[in-house]
Amino acid sequence: MGAALHTTDADFKKDVLDSNVPVLVDFWAEWCGPCRMVAPVLDELAKEYDGKIKVAKVNVDENQQVSMDFHIRSIPTLLFFKNGQMVKQLIGAHPKAKLVSEIQEVIGS
């Protein structure tokens, strides 16, 4: 695999909540500049951490239910899930080093 997975309202439970590995979910939109800046970094992380984490992307314009369920008010918002529970939230674009640090914390705990 090693690529970011595009998930939807319908598939969110299966792709994220029922995942057997931690999941980093990127809530984004096509028109969002910072979202476009962070996207290639997330694709790199999906490859580098293949098998350890899953990276999922949720287009907030197309998947409003899941966005409302998690009270997404700003994008990009990155949510980390482990064992079906949200364990961490980052709002805005962050450098790769920060994301690596957060991922290490989630998979290490």
Residues that are catalytic: 32, 35
Residue indicated by tokens 């674009």: 93
